[in-house]
Structure 1
């Protein structure tokens, strides 16, 4: 017969949960999983049976209005087909799910759902279920486990998992389910390490979030090979430190994009960089992408030791309020909140990792610049900014503060090589005066105080270029 459909949707309603839906007799039988599908056969998760949904809902992603049932953001976490082994109405379901290579399940997973009757949080015993991850899902199906096999074959191709902007109150509702890390003000790097052997000195490859090889730009981070005894892949942040020994994104700009060894060595002596390692994705041939955050952090402490330029900062021990206060006192960007049960979704932006910032920042595209006067006669007065919208580029305003002299001069040289005759976006006449236009392929970052009614950034301040971000990913 035809294959049966399943879908798991990440649902940001009043409380974050995952909707687990299985096709059955023409409808989608549904359960709400407050902690998501289990990743450890030894730990069952609560599953609350909800109303059946029509089959059309299997492809739904989008926003449910807040005044409606289930109001909030819905995204598809994984989907595919499943093999039914057992279905006892109201009692038990056993099914083997075949998810997507880049989905949340990571391939083939076999689950058992069973009703617990009066043992559960709901007064209605029919709603109280648990979901159990069964061992050795591959034995239930002749197909291989695609994601894990691919990960082991080419770990260097892993892309960073990305966090969404979050609110403190969202995390505070279920604070015990979250771990907190300081948010480092640098650029992400996936480091693939081949450990040293009797016949080899080992190697380190650094890859940016948009796939650029950064190994030659930061040679001091080759020290990572001395900090491990096994081949591994780690996720971290490259930072430069300012006078107060805190991450300084402006100083890091002086190192970004350099590839000539002479230039790298000159700046390296002035501005050394450090790698803050916070996640372990592969270790000694084993993929850890589908293990929980807590398990990965535990393994990270065992596998990677610290060096002169390599740090493994521990997760913050304390409450969310204390983490935010500590971050503020250290003059850091904010806090990263990560769900303890969350798996690592390579290349995906999720809400199981949240950025809790003290101030608003965003990525922007440079579309032009305005002529400077006085001290800025040879550089520029301000940059004109935009981002991708549904129907093309959208103008965001201009930024004229936050630049040091080095940034002004180097940016002007770069902009001169990117000039074009016409504006790439509709710009108001008052900002078009004495403007020069450029191809919108340079990504920058600004802080700002809000958005005006006209859609412009309020009081933007330049922070620096973001060569690690693809211009196509800069959206409104």
Structure 2
């Protein structure tokens, strides 16, 4: 059984780089989420093994609508009024518990799930496959909606991706070896590069999300 403790974690890296053997993805300011659908039942697990289901019912419903059984690796986010991920709004959603307040919060601050990897598809463990093959199977497993978004990434052009991070004022990016298997715990096959200016107000016209 795949659990939250099986999540693969990125190692901090000091600077952006480009390399044809690597895939580069935007890093969203949210909660890591292990998405498990088995026998029609959906569980949204935090990295610490806590359930998100009660606070994010709209995400549960979106995952329920996807055919088959699977285990995904994803980032759970809530956007601010500019369309950037807002950790403050996400944290407020997570502590909202009463049914009435959860319904209201889901309307005012809807959550999104950026899905970037798959550990299992239709009961088959695919963690031993290269990243590129897991991505292909993941892309085939669902269509993008307002709630579920496939995080594709760009091969080779890490410095270009990081320029976009800086321009948009995002948290950073994650670099992944395209031939890497999915490994439990911290790995240097996944590297996270943070934007030093993230969260600082505005010479560039953006502020803390």
Normalization by structure 2: what TM-score?
Answer: 0.87
Q: Residues 222-256 of structure 1, C-alpha deviation per residue, up to 9 Å, x if partnerless?
A: 21121x32200001001111111121112212202
1:164 aligns with 2:11: yes
Name stretches of at least 5 consecutive residues in structure 1 with no aligned partner: 1-153, 196-201, 362-446, 449-462, 465-476
Shift of 1:360: 7.8
Shift of 1:274: 0.5
The corresponding residue for 2:2 is 155
Partner of 1:225: 64
- Tell me the SS of whatever aligns to 1:213: coil
1:178 pairs, out of 22, 29, 44, with: 22
Q: Does 1:359 align with 2:203?
A: no
Alignment match, 2:203: none
2:109 is aligned with 1:265? no
Q: Which residue of 2 aligns with 1:302?
A: 140
Distance in 1 (CA, whole Å) between partners of 2:107 and 2:27 is 26
Q: Is 2:182 the partner of 1:344?
A: yes
Q: Are the equivalent residues in 2 in contact too, given 1:224–1:307 (CA < 8 A)? A: no
Partner secondary structure for residue 191 of structure 1: strand
Pairing 1:176-325 to 2, within 5 Å after superposition: 176-194=20-38, 202-222=40-60, 223-226=62-65, 228-316=66-154, 319-325=157-163
The runs of 5 or more residues in structure 2 that have no matched partner are 201-207
Aligned length: 201
Partner Cα separation in structure 2 for residue 156 and residue 284 of structure 1: 17
1:340-369 CA distance string (max 9 Å, x none): 1211112x01111111111288xxxxxxxx
- Which digits, 9 at most, give the CA deviation of each residue in 1:437-470, with x for residues without a partner? xxxxxxxxxx79xxxxxxxxxxxxxx89xxxxxx
SS of aligned partner of 2:176: strand
Higher relative contact order (CA 8 A, sep 6+): 2
- SS of residue paired to 2:93: coil
Cα separation, 1, equivalents of 2:138 and 2:5: 17
* TM-score w.r.t. length of structure 1: 0.40
Alpha-carbon distance in structure 2 between the residues aligned to 1:269 and 1:280: 28
Q: How does 1:375-394 map to 2 (within 5 A)?
A: none
User: 2 CA distance for matches of 1:306 and 1:156?
Assistant: 25
3-state SS, counterpart of residue 289 of structure 1: coil
2:204 matched residue in structure 1: none
**How far off its partner does 1:167 sit?**
2.5
8 Å CA contact 1:159–1:211 kept in 2: the answer is: no
CA RMSD of aligned residues (A): 2.2
Distance 1:157 1:186 in 2: 16
Tell me if structure 1 keeps the 8 A contact 2:4–2:34: no
Aligned residue for 1:254, secondary structure, equals helix
